[in-house]
Chain A
Amino acid sequence: MDENRETPALGRRALIARIGWGAFAASIAGSLAAGVRYMFPKALDEPPSKFKAPPPDTYGVGSVYAVEENKSFILRDAGGVFAMSAVCTHLGCTVKHMDAKGEFHCPCHGSVFDKDGTNIAGPAPRPLPRLDANVARDGRLEVDTQVEAAKDYRVPVDAGRG
């Protein structure tokens, strides 16, 4: 090494070296980012979020109809028909309908919801969500488990009837 020679602030070699290191770091960072993104698939082979249930007027007042495969309940009260998620708002177990009390109990951590889905005991932080429901063209009830409806949302029983 020639110690006497003064190196300029950014000589040719240093510049090329810096570009080289920068390119290398950028390529590694890009690959890592690609690796992270790789873990988040864009298309999923999962059941559709919408399902169809019998028409609104087929449910008796006060009845609870469980749609197991879609983890939902369809309930009817004086105001109409509504769909409610059966997925506990605590940690995602499926709640059970207790016929005697009309309550919904979660077997995992003991949360209790009343007949409207309001959390009344246990660790559940929120009520069971109402699900978006409409009467489809064929007269049946169409529920979307991914879309939450307002708390007092109901489908009038005569909806869909001419």
Chain B
Amino acid sequence: MSAHSLMESLRCSAIYRSIVRRGPADNDIDRSLAITSNVFLHLHPVKIRRHALRFTYTFGLGGITTLLFLILCVTGVLLMFYYVPSPERAYRSMQDLRYVVPYGTFLRNLHHWAAHAMIVTAALHMARVFYTGAFKGTRQFNWVVGVILFVLTLGFSFTGYLLPWDQLAFWAITVGTNMAAAVPLLGGMIRYALLGGNIVGANALLRFYVLHCAVLPALVFVFLAVHFWRVRKDGGISGPPLPAEVPEEGPPERLFATTPGRSYALVALPREAPAAVEESRKSPEDTVLTYPHLLVREAAAAMVVIGGLLLVALFLNAHLEEAANALKTPDPAKAPWYFLGLQEVVSWSTPFIGGVLVPGLMVLALLAIPYVRPNSVGVGVWFHPARRRAVIAFTIGLVLNVLLIVVGMFFRGHGWSLVWPWSN
């Protein structure tokens, strides 16, 4: 019995059919059922615009960010089996992971690098959506959901940063919570509630742990669900406007009323239709079946990301500094790279300006983007010429952020003084 015929008989078995409840996906009906009858895959539409499949349109950034989040959930849960959130044991847990637990270093590395990567891909995803005008029209609110998810992602980083309980962690959180204390009127209360006291101690560590492992994941799952749901409900992945709809031949095949920009013509396809049908019956939207066209692309992106992440996790170890010491501030004391822009601003200004006003205004500006001048100019096109000013403004903001981060990373030395990167 060849492997092929073994697979065939397995697929025909009553048990397999009880799980999958459809025939082999060699026709369009079964291919669409593969999507709609699967609880996980039905996140996707059955058909998707060919335009949305172009890798250079989305670069798969939203999906990659989601994948990284799932990797973080899995590795995070595994780390929780060894990690104890108390000042006495937290740092020792990290050392155990490093030296005693089989593959502990590997798993921590995976978690660490996936977290860094997620910040990058989420930020790039946001930039992609901005530059392609994908936040316009029906998609205004989903941009807001995306901004909330980005802020939650930064919250994950901030809370996760304290957990190793090393010097870097301790002082970054000391500074971070003092920034929170600069909020007018409520600042002191916010700091007290965050830390569960006045100092970065046992209560603070436990609180950050609970936020990191329970509160934030729950919030992210909720907003992620809304985010995906709205992608579908707002008309699928954005793209340039459709050419005026021309009826193809004879009476319309549609069995249901159509919503703007979508078509359910698929259900009218006969089961016997050969695979080539989908190519010949081009709708004005120029759609193709999600299975296999989108799924293979997703699988390919996932393989590249996972492969890359595994390589990095195998060869680059996550940092672990000396154990937290409340009596000795390291010099220089740097925030994680994605907060270095803020630290730079804080170093020129008061905690209120750098720690509350600037980040607050940045988030507000992001939230306001879809509502400032609502129009549908340039949707679905990278850097549409009609949006030149918007593109320039966003790029300036982006470049400024990156520049500040680079300055903080490479040009700040002892006592936060300006130095050349090579002088250390």
Contacts and interface: CB of A to CB of B under 8 A. Distances in A.
Interface of A: 39-41, 44-47, 68-69, 71, 90-96, 105-110, 112, 122-123, 125
Given A44-B197, A107-B415, A108-B171, A91 B327 contact: no
Chain B interface SS verdict (over half): helix
B178 A123 contact: no
B329 A108 contact: yes
Contact of B193 (A40, A44, A125): A40
Nearest to B334: A108
A109 B416 contact: yes
**Interface hub of B171, B192, B328, B329 (most chain A Cβ within 10 A):** B329
A93 B175 contact: yes
Given A91-B355, A96-B329, A107 B414 contact: yes
Contacts of B175: 91-93, 108
Nearest to B332: A107
Contacts of B415: 105-107, 110, 112
A88 B152 CA distance: 29
A108 B201 contact: no
Nearest to A49: B198
B327 A68 contact: yes
Contacts, number: 88
Contact of B346 (A41, A47, A91): A91
A93 B192 contact: no
B350 interface: yes
A68 B203 CA distance: 22
Contacts of B349: 123
B333 interface: yes
A40 B192 contact: yes
B202 interface: yes
Contacts of A47: 199
A144 to B, nearest CB: 14
B249 interface: no
Nearest to B182: A91
7 contacts: A69-B327, A92-B174, A93-B171, A93-B175, A108-B416, A123-B346, A123-B349
Chain A interface SS verdict (over half): loop
Contacts of B414: 107
Interface string B189-209: 100110011110111000000
Contact of B347 (A46, A123, A125): A123
A110 B201 CA distance: 25
B203 A110 contact: no
Contacts of B198: 44, 46
Given A122-B347, A125-B351, 14 more contacts: A44-B203, A45-B203, A47-B199, A68-B328, A71-B326, A92-B178, A94-B329, A96-B329, A105-B415, A106-B416, A107-B331, A109-B343, A110-B347, A122-B416
B330 interface: yes
Contacts of A95: 329
Contacts of B203: 41, 44-45
A107 B416 contact: yes
A136 B179 CA distance: 36
Nearest to B415: A105
B348 interface: yes
Contact of A107 (B179, B201, B333, B343): B333
Contacts of B280: none
A95 B331 CA distance: 10
A68 B257 CA distance: 74
A105 B326 CA distance: 17
Given A45-B202, A91-B175, A91-B346, A108 B197 contact: no
Nearest to B327: A68
B197 A41 contact: yes
B258 interface: no
A71 to B, nearest CB: 7
Contacts of B351: 90-91, 125
Q: Which 8 A-B pairs have the closest CB atoms?
A: A110-B416, A107-B331, A109-B347, A92-B178, A91-B178, A68-B327, A94-B329, A93-B329
B197 A46 contact: yes
B417 interface: yes
B327 A96 contact: no
Contacts of B201: 45-46
A112 to B, nearest CB: 8
Contacts of A110: 347, 415-417
Nearest to B171: A93
B328 A123 contact: no
A28 B372 CA distance: 37
Contacts of A92: 174-175, 178
Interface in B203-243: 203
A93 B174 contact: yes
B193 A107 contact: no
A106 B174 CA distance: 13
Contacts of B326: 71
A71 B328 CA distance: 9
B350 A125 contact: yes
Contacts of A40: 189, 192-193
**Interface hub of A39, A71, A92, A95 (most chain B Cβ within 10 A):** A92
A41 B189 CA distance: 12
A46 B416 contact: no
